[in-house]
Amino acid sequence: MRRSHGRYRKPIAGNRGLGRLLRVIRARVERREAETRFRSLMANVPGVVFQWSRGPDGEIRIPFVSDSAATITGLSADEIVDNPRRLLGRIPRRDRIRLVESLQRSIRTLEPVTEDFVIERGAGGACWLRVISRPRKRTGRGILSDAVGLDITDRKVAEMTLQRSQGALNEKLTELHRTRARMESQSAMLMETARQLTEARDSAEQASRAKSNFLSNMSHELRTPLNAILGFSQMIREQTFGPVGSPKYRDYASNIHESGLHLLELINDVLDFAKVEAGKEQIRDEAIDVPEVIDSVLRMVEERAARAELTIEPRIPERLPRILADRRKIKQVLLNLLSNAIKFTGRGGTVTVNTWCSEGSGFIVQVADTGIGIALADIPTALGLFGQVDSAFNRRHEGTGLGLPLSKALVELHGGSLDLQSQPGVGTTVTIRLPAERIVRDPTATARAG
């Protein structure tokens, strides 16, 4: 039994040594596995992990830096551990001062610190690094801080881009506010100008109405004494009550009569246009024969045309329908147009009167001459109130400049239009268009009230 017992003890002692060996081996394996896991973890951290310390001597050291430091800082882990100042030298001075001050404050207070700064990587350019550090005391060995540095370059670039965009947006908004203020100011000025213009327009319209009413009411006062002058001068010229003492007096009476007739024409134009402008002129429609009206006007101007040695050519087709219109006003329009054509056509010229009608174009009357003509730019002046185109020929003929605008107004009272086409040295053509609704299709049609 002793021998057996003695043989049994030796294996037990050997087993204990083997157990210790196995534990040592297992601890080393676990440590290596832990180191492998730690290195794997460090390799996958998006930044650099490191420790820094301040010993009792006050010296700052970096005992550990992960391998990713080379990618972010451009310095290997060994270079940083051997000489931490090389790392600080890659940080711009302003950021370096701020970082050191923050770390020193953290050492005093043991409070965590977070700082963003730029680090130069040499040929690799620069990057933004955010360092988060948590210090802790080590008994008898000063301060040790665990820290991580994160590459926030993309975020910083995005932030700066956003800031620039925000700055540009703020500038645009500021400019927009200024523009809005200017527009509001201009709008207020425009509204004030519009108000002033409205007041001026209303005042002008009121003055125009007062003028038109005055001229319209002056018809009797102006025409009555003028008719007396015309009547007495005609009686003297024709020696109705016997011969005058001297032939010169008869010539003077003839001059007075002609001047009176001219003055009467001017007054009639002014008064007629004043009535139209004041809205007092109305048309009295009746079925009229336009060729008959044209013949009547031609007889009135034939003596004037003969004195000017002009040829008047009426081109009027047979069997034209009658139209519903105001006979006196249509006659006045035609007289104005023919008088103008004769006045501004030189000796040997021709004045033509055309007329036709159709369902599409209505009833057309056209007066054309081979006179001096009007430049295209002067046509609006000729059709405007008191508009007379300035020319040496025109200055030799007196007038109010109301013939064309008055004719245009009278035609428009009938719902028609008056168009003027002209060319200097070629002549002028005035076209009157009356709407097709005014053409009388029933030959037995009677006059209707205007």
Q: Are residues 335 and 350 in the same domain?
A: yes
Out of 135-144, 191-200, 291-300, least confident range? 135-144
pLDDT at 75: 84
pLDDT at 396: 46
More confident residue, 191 or 22: 191
Q: Are residues 294 and 316 in the same domain?
A: yes
Give 157-200 pLDDT, tens digit per residue: 898 889 899 988 999 999 999 999 988 998 899 899 999 999 99
Q: Are residues 39 and 56 in the same domain?
A: no
User: How far is it, in rounded angstroms, from Cα 92 to Cα 274?
Assistant: 90
In a domain, 199, yes or no: no
Global model pTM greater than 0.75: no
**Residue 298 contacts residue 355 (beta carbons within 8 Å):** no
Q: Are residues 351 and 408 in the same domain?
A: yes
In a domain, 184, yes or no: no
Q: Are residues 378 and 320 in the same domain?
A: yes
Q: How far is CA 423 from the centre of its chain?
A: 37
Domain that holds residue 368: 282-438
User: How far is it, in rounded angstroms, from Cα 12 to Cα 4?
Assistant: 13
Across the chain, mean pLDDT equals: 81
- Give the count of alpha carbons within 13 A of 35, CB side only: 6
In a domain, 35, yes or no: yes
pLDDT at 36: 67
In a domain, 409, yes or no: yes
Indicate the SS3 state at residue 325: strand
Q: Are residues 430 and 332 in the same domain?
A: yes
The residues with which 119 forms a beta bridge, in sequence order, are 127
pLDDT at 392: 43
Q: What is the CATH number of the domain that holds 309?
A: 3.30.565.10
In a domain, 287, yes or no: yes
Q: Are residues 433 and 301 in the same domain?
A: yes
In a domain, 205, yes or no: no
Q: Are residues 434 and 286 in the same domain?
A: yes
**Residue 46 contacts residue 148 (beta carbons within 8 Å):** no
In a domain, 352, yes or no: yes
Give 331-386 pLDDT, tens digit per residue: 989 998 998 899 999 899 999 999 999 878 899 999 999 998 888 888 887 776 55
More confident residue, 44 or 322: 322
Query: What percent of the chain has pLDDT above 90?
Result: 21
Query: Of 94, 121, 151, which residue is a domain's last?
Result: 151
Other Cβ atoms within 10 Å of 144 Cβ, number: 18
Q: Are residues 388 and 414 in the same domain?
A: yes
User: How far is it, in rounded angstroms, from Cα 321 to Cα 438?
Assistant: 10
SS (H, E, C) 198-220: HHHHHHHHHHHHHHHHHHHHCHH
CB burial string 63-80: b at 16+ within 10 A, e below = ebbbebbbebbbbebebb
Q: 152: Cβ–Cβ under 8 A, 6 or more apart, which residues?
A: 116, 128, 129, 130
Query: Of 151, 173, 206, which residue is a domain's last?
Result: 151
Q: Are residues 404 and 298 in the same domain?
A: yes
Q: Are residues 294 and 412 in the same domain?
A: yes
- How many structural domains is the chain composed of? 4
In a domain, 408, yes or no: yes
pLDDT at 236: 81
User: How far is it, in rounded angstroms, from Cα 229 to Cα 235?
Assistant: 10
Q: Are residues 84 and 145 in the same domain?
A: yes
Q: What is the CATH number of the domain that holds 90?
A: 3.30.450.20
Distances (CA, A) of 431 to 184, 252, 317, 428: 49, 40, 17, 10
- Which residue type is seen at 216? S
pLDDT at 322: 93
- Torsion sign across C-alpha atoms 278, 280, 286, 290: negative
Query: Of 151, 176, 204, which residue is a domain's last?
Result: 151
Does residue 228 surpass a pLDDT of 70? yes
Give 23-34 pLDDT, tens digit per residue: 777 777 667 766
